[in-house]
Copies of this chain bind each other. A is one copy, B any other.
Amino acid sequence: MSATTERIAGVLAPVVTPFKPDLSPDPERLVRHTRWLLSQGVGLAVFGTTSEGNSLAVEEKIELLNRLLDAGIDPARMMPGTGSCALPDAVRLTAHATGLGCAGVLMLPPFYYKGVSDEGLFRSFADVIERVGDTRLRIYLYNIPPVSQVPITLPLIERLLKVYPGVVVGAKDSSGDWDNTCAYLDNFAEQGFDVFPGSETFLLQGLRRGAAGCISATANVNPRAIARLFATWQAPDADAQQLQLNQVRDIFARYPMIPALKAAITHYGDDASWAAVRPPLLALTDEQRVLLVNELETAGFAIAGLRAA
């Protein structure tokens, strides 16, 4: 494995994590799903929020990364989530992912304490960088205040870029706030800071303003269409493509997102095992799943090829 010099870009799926009946991770199903996602043209942001990444122990994540690599999944297409409340956990997983040759890591700030200072967050990221001590490390900051409740502010990004140029190289913005995504882009994109909106809803307007792609939950089920908009965003039908993406996204957004994605994979992949989530999440009820599939079919949507995956 060699260090990647070209940055990862485009559409990434925060890959949903399959569980066995005892709720242990299911590496075989994960490998199959990641292969299918790659075949559809999207990269792999494993261990994100959609992946129930914080519901997994560090050992489980290390084992899953190893299994993916053993199965021949290309680490240059991977951006695992490695942030943690505990510094040693973040260091351990970040070092492992970097050592495997992953394109980068998507790093949450420590998210237990609220109202912490930018100085404290700076030191959190700095400590991980210094302790990992690997020139291949590429960090993407993960801003998801609706969940983490710990925002990544503009002054924090500015300071990290100044002190760790070439290491802190981008961000996923899941604020859901287009103004914040614009602020990230307008302040830092020119310096080579790669901004990924956290939903394909913002893909076209993001690309028009300099975004590097997007990292979106629904890329788990609608990867090819989202990847196509990324590839053809300057084509005349780009706005029409965006509207179609939004239609699918809007359906999933009417349900608890993570269980809904798994329910769709269960249905279109004809594999009931995919429904399981770890608590505190709950799988969709049978009624919810039927409603979801009806809505998707009414909209003319089906996950082509998932069954074969």
| Chain A interfacial positions (CB closer than 8 Å to B) | 23, 49, 54-60, 85-89, 92, 109-114, 116-117, 119-121, 123-124, 127, 146-150, 278-282
Contacts and interface: CB of A to CB of B under 8 A. Distances in A.
A86 B282 contact: no
A114 B55 contact: no
Contacts of A89: 57
Given A23-B87, A113-B147, A149-B149, A279 B57 contact: no
Contacts of A150: 280
Contact of A114 (B56, B119, B121, B146): B146
Given A23-B87, A114-B146, A146-B114, A120 B57 contact: no
Given A23-B87, A87-B23, A113 B281 contact: yes
A110 B282 contact: no
Nearest to A59: B88
Nearest to A121: B280
Contacts of A60: 86, 88
Contact of A120 (B49, B109, B117, B282): B282
Given A123-B279, A124-B279, A86 B55 contact: yes
A58 B92 CA distance: 13
A247 B126 CA distance: 38
A280 B110 contact: yes
Given A23-B87, A87-B23, A149-B149, A113 B57 contact: no
Given A88-B60, A112-B147, A127 B54 contact: no
A119 B283 CA distance: 11
Given A57-B88, A111-B112, A281 B120 contact: yes
10 contacts: A49-B112, A54-B112, A57-B58, A87-B279, A112-B148, A113-B280, A114-B146, A116-B280, A127-B279, A149-B149
Nearest to A84: B57
A214 to B, nearest CB: 22
B86 A280 contact: no
B55 A110 contact: yes
A111 B114 CA distance: 12
A136 to B, nearest CB: 23
A79 to B, nearest CB: 19
A205 B257 CA distance: 44
Contacts of A121: 279-280
